[in-house]
Structure 1
Amino acid sequence: MDHFEIAIVGAGLAGSLAALALADSGRSVVLIAPAPGRPDGRTTALMDHSLDLVRRLGLWERIEPLAAPLATMRIIDGTDRLLRAPTVTFHAAEVGLDAFGYNIPNTPFLALLEKEAETRPSLVRIIASLSQIEIDAKRATLKLDDGRIVTADLVLGADGRKSAVRAAAGIDVHSWSYPQTAVVLNFAHQMPHQNISTEFHTPDGPFTQVPLPGSRSSLVWVQKPDAAAATLALSAEELSLAVERRMQSILGKVTVEGTAQSFPLSGMAARAFGKQRTILIGEAAHAFPPIGAQGLNLSLRDIMAASALLSDLPVIPADFGARYDRRRRTDVLTRTFSVDLLNRSLLSELLPVQLLRAAGLQALASVPLLRNLMMHEGLNPGSALQTLRSSLQEKIGWQRA
């Protein structure tokens, strides 16, 4: 029976990055998950604050050739409603950055993390599934489907929405569904994207183009389930034309690559993000629609919070889960509520809701300070108030001078 300080269950992007970060902090770590399944055709947009962790792990030089910078982010009202919002454009240069972040294909990103895990002497990778887990005040005991038994001082659940770790810890969830399905694909296009990501807000949900290296982009097209099924049934030529038309031909002729995938949309938040010797990250803790590139960025903040808490503790205490829960609660619930509210505002046919949404985007388009605050908050949650305070202090100082 092998013992580790930390056992991580789930080797997706969140679990793999957590394993590397915690191993680099000097902890003994075991990463438990079956072999990767089918290739993941999605991409992940990592914002600037999240990239700090990737750089600290020494991964950026190998990831950068796979990634495309997001220098500009644009929101276009793609509805035909009476109250249409103006186009809002966010430039990274406005907040002193070359790019808000970078868009990275998931499949090569995961392959890189798998290889990197082999280079950490304090990290053991076990290719197996979790059969049973028992957690008490002293330790967690994990029984695997290959017969092995592992014990740990702390279990980190990164095993997705149906988390076995979460269930074993007795943590309930609040979940909800949306009448939406996300169609995900990559495509080549005739005109350069100029490192601009464009999110069309449609009555059925966002249609989001995100740059990839070269004249290529990734797409998340949120539709009603019947419409998504019809989209997936199109031939390659028909699908390419449908994407081009939905994009208003701003990138010229479109050629869809490979096979499109689909994912029904739902939301979920754990009732607690940690309990006793268990903590949850990624979609074991929270999940919501793909709006504003918030998903994995929130997961990386989970990892950074766990690392920060552990850095002050030579021995992992029995109440670590409760400490982590207190640290993460405000950030996770605020982000979940914000994304849910924005998504529901797109679906609402109520005129007052449409008016509020249009007015909000109008304010962002016309008030530079407000737009600046929103960009800072999107990059680094909690920083908007600090930025506002600094701006006011500069203004007061200039007036006095």
Structure 2
Amino acid sequence: MQHYEIAIVGGGLAGSVAALALGRAGRKVCLVAAPVTGDDGRTTALMDQSVRYLERLGIWDRIAPSTAALSIMQILDGTNRLLRAPPAQFRASDISLAAFGYNIPNKALAEVLDTALAAEPNVTRIAETVASVAVSTDKVSISTADGEIIEADFVIGADGRKSITREAAGIGVKTWSYPQSAVVLIFSHTLPHGNVSTEFHTESGPFTQVPLPGSRSSLVWVVRPEEAARLVALPLDELSATVETRMQSLLGKVTVERQAQAWPLSSMMAERFGSGRVALIGEAAHAFPPIGAQGLNLSLRDSMTLADLLSATRDKAIPADAGDRYNRRRRVDVMSRTVSVDLLNRSLLSDFLPVQMVRTAGIHVLNAVSPLRNVLMQEGVEPGRGVKNLVMGLGKGLKAGLKQQIRR
């Protein structure tokens, strides 16, 4: 029987980042996960806060060559509805950033993480399927499919929507589905993207193009499930022409590089994100549609919080209520992002005229009121940044006003 300070169940991107972060924070970590199978053709837009976190972990320089900057994001109304929203453009330079973030293929990120974990002395990897997890007040026991027993002071469930860890902790979930699937693919194009990401809002959901290095982009196209099945089955030349038409030829001639993949859309949120000697991260804790580049960025904030709470420099022994502390720290962020993405997605699907009016009016306001637009951009990059900067700006303005009054 082996004993570790922290065991992480699940070896996806969220679990791998958490293992690396906690190992670098001085904890003895065991990452238990079966080898990953299948080819993930998706990409992830990592926002500025996430990029700076990966820089602190010492791996960003190895990831950067596979990424493309997101310097401008624009929203275009691609519907045929009576009320259509005006075009909206968001520039990173308006909030003093070179880029909102960077887009990277999931496969490239996973490869860098694998290399970093293999070289991290505080992390042990056990490539086995977890059969069961047992949680008590003083320890956690993990049994693998081949009969190995692992004990830990604390366990992190990064084992996805059907989390064994979450079930062992007795934490329930709320789930809901959407009549949509996300078609994901990578394509090349004849016109440069200029580090601009374009999101068309359509009646079935967003059609989002995100830059990749060179004259290439990734695409997440949210459609009805039957339409997703049709698109995935198309020959590549027909699919390329369909994507080009939907994009209004903004990037010239489109060539889809390989067969598209389709993922059904649903949302899930755990009733708690931690309890006692258990914490949940990634899709064991929260999952929602790929809208607004929130999924993995939210998971990385899970890891940031855990690394802060469980750093060996704070307490040598991991507190018995560490999971409860984590739950309190993560609740507002996870719930607010989940609700925001859900409302936005439902507003795109709704044919109810008042809902369309509110969405259209909201875009008009963002175009007209630059301070509000900047606050929204800052909040999208890092929760709390926009509000903090707004308060600081108001404070500086108030102080300057008081000084003028005193001089008079």
When normalised by structure 2's length, the TM-score is 0.97
Show the counterpart of 1:321. Answer: 323
2:379 to 365, 377, 380: 377
- Tell me by how many angstroms 1:357 deviates: 0.4
Equivalent-residue separation in structure 1 for 2:113 and 2:36 (angstroms): 12
Equivalent-residue separation in structure 2 for 1:122 and 1:341 (angstroms): 42
- Tell me by how many angstroms 1:318 deviates: 1.4
1:388 aligns with 2:390: yes
Equivalent-residue separation in structure 1 for 2:389 and 2:203 (angstroms): 33
Show the counterpart of 2:338. Answer: 336
Deviation per CA, 1:174-213, whole angstroms, max 9, x where unpaired?
0000000000000000100000011111110010000000
- Tell me by how many angstroms 1:276 deviates: 1.2
Deviation per CA, 1:310-358, whole angstroms, max 9, x where unpaired?
1323211111111110110011000000000000000001100000000
1:45 aligns with 2:17: no
2:357 to 355, 358, 366: 355
- Tell me by how many angstroms 1:116 deviates: 1.1
Show the counterpart of 2:296. Answer: 296
Cα-Cα RMSD: 1.0
Letter in 2 for 1:301: R
Show the counterpart of 2:185. Answer: 185
Show the counterpart of 2:108. Answer: 108
Show the counterpart of 1:229. Answer: 229
- Tell me by how many angstroms 1:395 deviates: 3.6
Equivalent-residue separation in structure 2 for 1:133 and 1:286 (angstroms): 20
- Tell me by how many angstroms 1:8 deviates: 0.4
1:284 aligns with 2:284: yes
Deviation per CA, 1:258-288, whole angstroms, max 9, x where unpaired?
1110100000000000011110000000001
Deviation per CA, 1:150-193, whole angstroms, max 9, x where unpaired?
00011000011111111111110000000000000000001000
Equivalent-residue separation in structure 1 for 2:259 and 2:147 (angstroms): 38
The range that moved more, 213-222 or 106-115, is 106-115
Equivalent-residue separation in structure 1 for 2:346 and 2:48 (angstroms): 27
- Tell me by how many angstroms 1:133 deviates: 1.1
Helix, strand or coil for the counterpart of 1:259? coil
Show the counterpart of 2:366. Answer: 364
Q: Percent identity between the aligned chains?
A: 57
Show the counterpart of 1:54. Answer: 54
Helix, strand or coil for the counterpart of 2:260? strand
Equivalent-residue separation in structure 1 for 2:108 and 2:147 (angstroms): 31
Show the counterpart of 1:147. Answer: 147
Equivalent-residue separation in structure 2 for 1:314 and 1:243 (angstroms): 55
1:20 aligns with 2:25: no
Helix, strand or coil for the counterpart of 2:257? strand
What stretches of structure 1 of length at least 5 have no aligned partner? Answer: none
Letter in 2 for 1:320: A
The range that moved more, 342-351 or 304-313, is 304-313
Equivalent-residue separation in structure 1 for 2:398 and 2:374 (angstroms): 19
Equivalent-residue separation in structure 1 for 2:394 and 2:116 (angstroms): 45
What pairs with 1:124-163 in structure 2 (closer than 5 Å)?
124-163=124-163
Equivalent-residue separation in structure 2 for 1:58 and 1:317 (angstroms): 28
Letter in 2 for 1:196: V
Equivalent-residue separation in structure 1 for 2:118 and 2:296 (angstroms): 23
- Tell me by how many angstroms 1:359 deviates: 0.5
Equivalent-residue separation in structure 2 for 1:374 and 1:95 (angstroms): 10
Equivalent-residue separation in structure 2 for 1:227 and 1:259 (angstroms): 15
Equivalent-residue separation in structure 2 for 1:321 and 1:62 (angstroms): 32
The range that moved more, 186-195 or 104-113, is 104-113
Helix, strand or coil for the counterpart of 1:159? coil
- Tell me by how many angstroms 1:390 deviates: 2.3
Equivalent-residue separation in structure 1 for 2:344 and 2:367 (angstroms): 17
Letter in 1 for 2:363: L
Deviation per CA, 1:289-326, whole angstroms, max 9, x where unpaired?
11110000000110001111113232111111111101
Deviation per CA, 1:30-63, whole angstroms, max 9, x where unpaired?
0011111111100011000011211011111110
Deviation per CA, 1:212-243, whole angstroms, max 9, x where unpaired?
00000000000001111111121101100110
Letter in 2 for 1:192: P
Show the counterpart of 1:259. Answer: 259
- Tell me by how many angstroms 1:388 deviates: 1.6
Equivalent-residue separation in structure 2 for 1:393 and 1:114 (angstroms): 46
Letter in 1 for 2:356: Q
The range that moved more, 295-304 or 376-385, is 376-385
Letter in 2 for 1:318: A
- Tell me by how many angstroms 1:397 deviates: 4.8
- Tell me by how many angstroms 1:383 deviates: 2.2
How many residue pairs are counted as aligned between the two chains? 401
Equivalent-residue separation in structure 2 for 1:74 and 1:295 (angstroms): 20
Equivalent-residue separation in structure 2 for 1:338 and 1:247 (angstroms): 26
Equivalent-residue separation in structure 2 for 1:2 and 1:372 (angstroms): 51
Letter in 1 for 2:175: S
Letter in 1 for 2:279: I
Equivalent-residue separation in structure 2 for 1:35 and 1:48 (angstroms): 30
